Every structure is written in structure tokens, then in C-alpha cells.
Amino acid sequence: MINFFFSGVFWVLAMYGLIEIIKEIYYLCVCTKLKSNGIYIIVAAKDEENKIEGFIRSLLFKIICNNEDYINNIIFTDLNSKDETGKIMENLTKEYKEVHFLKWKNCKELIEDIERT
């Protein structure tokens, strides 16, 4: 009798897990398409090589783990640093597909283009 009870509980939990997995796959395939509009996050830094990597990783962790779908564009830009800030930012963009690295001149042009539209 106890084996039957535990077996029933096991199968109910297994079915619940399967349903949750199917719901998550459906959500990822249908509901998370990137939109052309949305919120832009621009992270600009100058001479912050000691702090920038930790800041960027914590920012990305919060955005990615919270499924912030309305944030489409995360842009890093270096304000002509004299240290390794720009290289650190550029290396992090290779790790995360959600972000882009732009030189300050290109970032200014992007902002001006957004203002015109």
C-alpha cells in the first residue's frame, strides 16, 4: 500500500515537471522574440578597469535571470580610457550575445539617430 502511494506521488510530480518544461519551452520559442523598439541600456565608462567587469556581470545577471524581455539593447562604450576598460568591455561582449560594444563616436551617432526618429 505504501509503495502504491509513493509511486502515485512520484508520477504526479513527474507529470507536473513535464508540464512545466513544456510551458517553459513554449514561452522561449513564442514569447521572447526581440522587438525593434524597447529600452536601451548604455553603459559608458572611463578608466574603471578595476570595477567594470564586476559591475557588468552583476548587471547582466539581473537582466538575464529576471527575464527582462523589454530590454532589447545593452550597449557598452568606452570613453577613451587610458587603461584596459575598453578591452574588458569588448571581451565581455564576446561572452554574452545580449550586449554590443561601440566606440564612443559610434555610440553618439546611435543616440543621435534614435533622437531623430
59-85 tens-digit pLDDT: 888 877 776 666 767 888 888 889 988
Q: Do 48 and 82 share a domain, yes or no? A: yes
Q: What pLDDT was estimated at residue 33?
A: 40
Q: Do 16 and 40 share a domain, yes or no? A: no
Structural domain count of the chain: 2
Q: Do 71 and 109 share a domain, yes or no? A: yes
Stretch (H or E) spanning 93: helix 85-95
Q: What pLDDT was estimated at residue 38?
A: 65
Residue-number span of the structural domain to which 3 is assigned: 1-33
**Does 7 have pLDDT greater than 80?**
yes
What is the 8-class DSSP label of residue 82?
S
Q: Do 21 and 50 share a domain, yes or no? A: no
Region class of 103: left (phi > 0), else alpha (psi between -120 and 50), else beta: beta
CA Rg, the chain, in Å? 21
Q: Do 98 and 72 share a domain, yes or no? A: yes
The residue-averaged pLDDT of 98-112 equals 79
Work out the pLDDT band at 28, boundaries 50, 70, 90.
Answer: low
* Amino acid, single-letter form, for residue 110: L
The DSSP line for 4-29 is: HHHHHHHHHHHHHHHHHHHHHHHIII
Work out the pLDDT band at 103, boundaries 50, 70, 90.
Answer: confident
Q: Do 111 and 83 share a domain, yes or no? A: yes
Strand partners, 40: 73
User: Percent of the chain, pLDDT > 90?
Assistant: 2
Q: Do 51 and 97 share a domain, yes or no? A: yes
What is the 8-class DSSP label of residue 97?
T
Q: Do 15 and 60 share a domain, yes or no? A: no
What is the 8-class DSSP label of residue 69?
T
